[in-house]
Structure 1
Amino acid sequence: MNTATIRFLAGIFLLVTNQAVGWGGMLLFGNLARRTGRHTYYFFGLSVYIISWIMLLAGVYLVGVAQALAVMRYLPDWVVALAVAGAAVSYYFWRRRARKKAASDEIGNE
């Protein structure tokens, strides 16, 4: 592989992963802050979100503006669909675990 190909692939990787890193980091650290009550996690979430913007800018620089726009034109639909599917699966398993815990608590109280 030549240097241009590696640079292009690295740029595409950064463009594709920056949204997942940014939103995922914000959700993860926001949830940790809510659960633990430690507001420091909000700062970490913001830091990860800022890093995701740096990833976006680096990806645009490595790939070029025209190719970056082409990638970003098709990426949001894919990312949103994946995020919704992930949230739905997570909610399903969370509810399932909550129901099992409630059922075991009822059995233990009898």
Structure 2
Amino acid sequence: MRHRRLRTALLVLALAGQAGAAFALNMNFLRTSPVSRFNSKDLALMQVAFTQAMDSSADGVAVDWANERTRSGGTVTPQQSFERDGRKCRSASISTWHRNVRAEGVYSFCRDAQGEWRLQP
């Protein structure tokens, strides 16, 4: 259950750009996750890597990001491309770290009507 919460919160906060709505939820479990320690530069680097991986990388080809100053980073690796309800979708392995705190998981995303990648349930 905790992994599912971390997955959803991490991606909502860092990738979907909806921090305001996410903070309205109970986010206490995020206190020990890498994303809870990311600064704005870390989040921006993660977003660039995510977009590059999802838009341009072949399945299995990783895109890494790192901020040496904060000792944070991660990897986004598209795993599989598919269609759902006529929309382009991809699953991706996402790992993040901040110093010695690490998290990882595999998630599915589909493009919305505006072309943005959105986390799928």
What TM-score does the superposition give when structure 1 sets the normalisation length?
A: 0.30
Higher RCO (Cα < 8 Å, 6 or more apart): 1
Larger % of helix: which?
A: 1
Larger Rg belongs to:
1
